[in-house]
Structure 1
Amino acid sequence: MDGLFAPIPSNPLIDFTILLLVTLILPPIFERLKLPGLVGLLFAGIVLGKSGLGILDQDSESIKLFTDIGKIYLMFVAGLEIDMVDFRRTRNRSLLYGCLTFAIPLLTGLAVGQLFGYSLNASVLMGSLFASHTLLGYPIVQRLGIVRNQAVMVTIGATIFTDIAALLVLAICISIHSGSFSPAGLVVQLVAIAGYSALVLVGFDWAGKEYFRRTGDEQSNQFLFVLLAVFLASVGSELINVDKIVGAFLAGLAVNDVLGKGPVKEKVEFLGTTLFIPFFFIGIGLLLDLPAFMVTLTTLFPLVVAIVGGLIISKGVAAILAQLKLGYTWAEGLTMWSLSIPQVAATLAAAVAGYQAINASGDRLVSETVLNTIIVLMLITSIIGPLMTAKFATKIPPPNSLSNLEDDSALPGENGEITLVPPKASTFTVLVPTQNPQTLSYLLEMGALIARHESGVVIP
């Protein structure tokens, strides 16, 4: 097999062409098999990577660039899709769910680490790996037109809290391992994050409004301004020792009001969802080392089961508690669970950082065994997360509008249901028949796409 593909030179142009070809062909094939197209991209990464044909090298600069851009774009679009009026109303709910989906997995990971004989510091770091999550299922809820569903918005908002908190725990654990931890350093880090968040949210919003006001209808320059904002925010977040995805999410929130629902926003989202975000999922598949994966599964099966099972169960408990507290339906609660399961971006970054942290005695904070297990966790959760999202999210009807409601306290009723205000007569409305369960999900997706383009609503 190596001889067959040896004549193919390795350069960015060929890598880009292969990524385009895979993105075009595989997702429709997997969707015909009743699987999310994202799973097809992950599968393509495994086949094309070092464990398969070896056509693409995950360590090449071009692949790293495409993957990083896709990861940044994923979080940026997630922030861009949030209606800021609704988000401000649900910020307390996002904080509540963020605390639950951070604390419960953290304690579970700590217990697993202690059970298998790891040090307290390593066990806490393992718990922090459980606590974060990556919104791999976001493209699915976006396609279904339910991003503005309150439960989905709360889950998206909770992501920023879990990732920042997990990365803070990582920084503390590494500094303790190296013997350089100090409470003053932690305070400085917290102040830096707070100041940077305010700078991006306020500064980028002001700069965007001024630039758009001065440029008028120059969509090309406005498009470039938005791209500059997201990557500038990502670089800035790394300068204060926070993962780039945090800056990208903040940039999405910052330029949200500036873009509105105009053509520039459509172009920005189109570029990401069509091109760079699929590249990110292919890059995840490239990371898998099948031989190490099989060795880890066979020799460390109890640890793998404890880590994977502990993560899934703890995330489920957090989602159910939030659902019961906030009065959501079971479909919404299960969707919150499925969105919080995938462990990719922040988890992998933290695991690698812990593996590379070596103290004066030559001991690693995260052993190679744990690193391989985390890669297994990443693979399993990145597959079952989108699958579960595709299953549960289709049962949530697209909301009419949360902005019709007076305040955050009035959103759920005493019986746990949300009363939706009927659309006005002038509202663009798509009626979807629900009698045939075999066509329901497809019709809802089609109706959501049409309604979203016209800023309308879907009525099942």
Structure 2
Amino acid sequence: MTLLSVGHLSLPIDDPLLKFLLELIIILGAPLLLNKIKVPHLLGLIIAGALVGPNGFHLLARDSSVVVTGTTGLLYIMFLAGLEIDMGDFKKNKWKSLAFSAYTFAIPFGLGLIGGYYVLGFNLLTTVLFSSLFSSHTLIVYPYISKMGISKNPAVNITLGGTMVTDVLSLLVLAVVVGMTQGDVGAGFWAQLSIGMVLFVLVVLLVFPLIARWFFKRVEDKISQYIFVLVMIYLASLLAEVAGVEAIIGAFFAGLALNQLIPRTSTLMNRVEFVGNALFIPFFLISVGMLIDFKVFFRGWETLGVAAVMLVASIGGKYLAAVATRKSLRLTRDEGMLIFGMSTASAAATLASVMVGYNIILSETATGEPVRLLNEHVLNGSILLILISCVISSFVSLASARRIAEADNENTVSGNSQEYEHILLAMNHGETVEKMVNLGLLVKGKPAGNKLFALSVIDNDKNESAVKNAEKILH
């Protein structure tokens, strides 16, 4: 690695304090700056990562520290998606989710097959893996959609369920193609993959809730509970890799496993969302931006040609899938656009598949150059796909979600009424304060004017310590 000395400073920055400070400044500054010009700040974090990364001004290297925090952010996105999904609505919409997943997997995959085999001239194995890149999607905007209060909207639930199915299918395609390049696809391979997946699902969805319920009942320390949640995320991700699929599937299933055990308005949920949205998810967005190299698109037309095919297959396929879903399920136009926006972003599974395919060397040319399963043009094209798909996903999703949220407020009784409810909580005992507050938050309605009032009754016959105790509880 080449270092450029500037006084006592060298580029890329290797001082851990200075690196972390610069990343925090980016995380702090991007939302403040871009909110003023109506640009989604997640897009700003990706662009900032490109500018400070190895392919920009090279202020920061994409080293192990960036990869670890970025990976945690990616797992966090999938975990939150599984954690916040309403299981009742998901069960009601499961057939709709399967219909959407069929559209959003098959249509981009078919366009990829045509583009890879007939336009770009790839061989069959490369074409199949190339096509699978466009079927998966990353819920990069989900944390911001959730903040708007529409996580129970049918379009959101349908997209969440479809994401699980399409990501699993695309990553299974990756596993099969890799196995075929190594020549070991047979009855044993399919048996091992099937048994591994079944055992993984059973362990995470049946054993994890039992362990979590036991832990939460016996450990009341909030910090320990949060660390336990992180352990569950990484353990499920590790089990997914052992089963033969990507870690992001494990994180999503971990969210499903803990879904009923972490109430949406609990202090633990608040901590999970706060740390993820404040640190881990922004670090992931910055790490994605560090992969972008704008210079490769000026070195020749071949990369631009591959990128064009990828953009048409991925974004065009997702749009057609969203339209087919909207018409089949009779959703509104805004809900159809929200599905399109949420499913457009390609980052996690796409990047994982590209890196695996790029690292597989099939043979060598006469000059000793490696012949890869996915060449460098696909690698560079995937980076452009990640950037453009995230841009489109950000603008379309947030705009559609905003219109849906405004329509929901107008169509609800609370949206047309100025009457607010007032909830009175008894706070005589300090050990029950947190439970009473959580109960109040659960029953509180949506209007911002709804208030919680605390009450502690003091017996005048008791001494002054009772008054001080009441003041301590109420504050």
Bin the TM-score by the shorter chain.
0.7 to 0.9
Q: Given residue 393 of structure 2, which amino acid in structure 1 is its aligned partner?
A: G
Contact 1:140 1:389 in 2 (8 A): no
2:379 counterpart of 1:375:
no
Pair 1:458–1:295, CA change in 2 (3 A): farther
User: Out of 317, 339, 342, which is 1:339 matched to?
Assistant: 342
1:197 is paired with a residue whose SS is helix
Q: Is the 8 A contact 1:398 1:458 kept in 2?
A: no
* Number of equivalent positions: 418
Q: 1:323 to 1:288 in 2, by over 3 A?
A: same
Name 1:52's counterpart in structure 2. 56
Which residue of structure 1 lines up, in the alignment, with residue 222 of structure 2? 219
* Residue in 2 that maps onto 1:292: 296
Rounded to whole Å, the distance in 1 between the matches of 2:166 and 2:420 is 37
1:127 aligned partner: 131
Query: Structure 1 residue 191: deviation in Å?
Result: 2.5
Mapped to 1, the partners of 2:420 and 2:27 lie a distance apart of 32
Q: Does 1:206 align with 2:210?
A: yes
1:395 Cα offset (Å)? 1.2
Instruction: Determine whether 1:164 maps to 2:168.
Output: yes
Matched letter for residue 405 of structure 2: P
Question: More deviation in 367-376 or 344-353?
Answer: 367-376
- In structure 2, the residue corresponding to 1:118 is in which secondary structure? coil
- Decide whether the 8 Å contact of 1:30 with 1:39 is kept in 2: no
Do residues 392 (structure 1) and 395 (structure 2) align? no
SS, match of residue 130 in structure 1: coil
Kindly indicate whether the alpha-carbon contact (under 8 Å) linking 1:125 and 1:173 is maintained by their aligned counterparts in 2: yes
Asked if residue 180 in structure 1 is aligned to residue 179 in structure 2, the reply is no
Are residue 71 (structure 1) and residue 74 (structure 2) matched? Answer: yes
Partner of 1:434: none
Separation (CA, whole Å) in 2 of partners of 1:200 and 1:345? 21
In the TM superposition, what is the alpha-carbon distance from 1:398 to its structure 2 partner?
A: 7.1
Counterpart residue number, 1:86: 89
Structure 2 equivalent of residue 277 of structure 1 = 281
Q: Superposition pairs for residues 315-326 of structure 1, below 5 Å?
A: 315-326=318-329
Question: Contact 1:149–1:399 at 8 Å: present in 2 too?
Answer: no
Deviation at residue 188 of structure 1 after TM alignment: 2.1
Q: 2:108, 2:313 within 8 Å by CA — same for their partners in 1?
A: yes
- Structure 2 portions without partners, runs of 5+: 365-369, 422-439, 449-475
Aligned equivalents of 1:74, 1:286: Cα separation in 2? 19
- Per the TM alignment, residue 15 of structure 1 is displaced from its structure 2 partner at its CA by 2.5
Paired position in structure 2 for 1:314: 317
Distance of 1:455 and 1:336 partners within structure 2: 29
SS at match of 1:10: coil
Task: Mark the CA change 1:8 to 1:287 in structure 2 (over 3 Å): closer, same or farther.
Answer: closer
Q: Which deviates more from structure 2 when the two are superposed, residues 328-337 or residues 224-233? A: 224-233
- Residue 456 of structure 1 corresponds to 445
Residues 429, 457 of structure 1: 8 Å contact kept:
no
1:131-162 deviation per Cα after TM superposition (whole angstroms, max 9, x unaligned)? 00011111221121111111111101111111
Which whole-Å deviations, capped at 9, do the CAs of 1:107-136 have from their partners, x for residues lacking one? Answer: 110110012211111111111001000111
Amino acid at match of 2:53: G
1:364 aligns with 2:368: no
The alpha carbon displacement at 1:360 in A equals: 5.3
Tell me how far 1:2 sits from its aligned partner.
4.1
In the TM superposition, residue 23 of structure 1 has moved relative to its aligned partner by: 0.5
Aligned to 1:98: 101
- Segments of 5+ residues of structure 1 without an aligned counterpart are 402-419, 431-450
> What's the secondary structure of 2:67's corresponding residue?
helix
- Equivalent position of 1:19 in the other structure: 23
Determine helix, strand or coil for the equivalent of 2:134. Answer: helix
Q: Which amino acid aligns with 2:337?
A: L
User: In the alignment, does 2:148 pair up with 1:148?
Assistant: no
Q: Which secondary structure does the structure 2 equivalent of 1:100 belong to?
A: helix
Q: Percent identity?
A: 33
Task: From the superposition, tell whether residues 122 and 260 of structure 1 become closer, same or farther in structure 2 (CA, over 3 Å).
Answer: same
Pairwise CA distance, 1:454: 7.6
Separation in 1 of the partners of 2:148 and 2:23? Answer: 25
* Amino acid in structure 2 at the alignment position of 1:79: G
Normalized against structure 2, the TM-score is what? 0.82
- Seen in structure 2, the aligned counterparts of structure 1 residues 16 and 266 have a Cα distance that, compared at 3 Å, is same
Out of 328, 331, 349, the residue aligned to residue 328 of structure 1 is 331
SS in 1 for 2:133: helix
CA distance in 1, matches of 2:420, 2:267: 21
Report the counterpart of residue 10 of structure 1 in structure 2.
14
The one-letter code matched in structure 1 to 2:382 is I
Deviations 1:41-69 (A, max 9, x none): 011101101222211111x1111111111
CA distance in 1, matches of 2:33, 2:341: 23
The RMSD of aligned alpha carbons is 2.8
C-alpha displacement of 1:300? 3.7
Alignment check: 8 A CA contact 1:76 1:230 kept: yes
Task: Letter of the 1:249 partner, please give it.
Answer: F
- 1:213 & 1:428 partners in 2: Cα distance? 38
Q: Deviations over 1:264-284 (max 9, x none)?
A: 111111110111101110111
| CA distance in 2: counterparts of 1:200 and 1:253, whole angstroms | 9
Q: Could you tell me which residue of structure 1 aligns to residue 236 of structure 2?
A: 233
Distance 2:441 2:385 in 1: 35
In 2, Cα distance between equivalents of 1:160 and 1:184: 26
User: Displacement, 1:173?
Assistant: 1.3
